[in-house]
């Protein structure tokens, strides 16, 4: 799946891998399986998160996740 995602990511703006849990989700294929979806646009929620993360990086010159991990480690 990683190779597929990398390859599709060269062409498409948004690539998403997800697990379809078969009949539970209304799928005609009864067993759980993964699927990949690629689109020329980014869905609204990920687009908002991406914008916020980019703004954080611009202000602080480092990824938000780095600061988050450091704060969690300080709690220990």
Strands of 1-76, DSSP E? 14-20, 33-39
Catalytic residue from among 7, 9, 29, 33: 33
Q: Is 33 a catalytic residue?
A: yes
Find the distance separating the first CA and the last CA of the chain, reported in whole Å. 35
Query: How far is Cα of residue 54 from the mean position of the Cα atoms in its chain?
Result: 15
Positions marked active-site: 33
């Amino acid at each position: 799946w990683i190779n597929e995602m990398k390859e599709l990511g060269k062409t498409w703006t948004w690539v998403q891998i997800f697990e379809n849990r078969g009949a539970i989700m209304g799928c005609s294929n009864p067993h759980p399986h993964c699927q990949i979806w690629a689109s020329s646009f980014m869905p609204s929620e990920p687009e908002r998160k991406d914008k916020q993360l980019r703004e954080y990086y611009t202000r602080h010159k480092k990824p938000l996740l780095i600061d988050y991990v450091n704060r969690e480690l300080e709690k220990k």
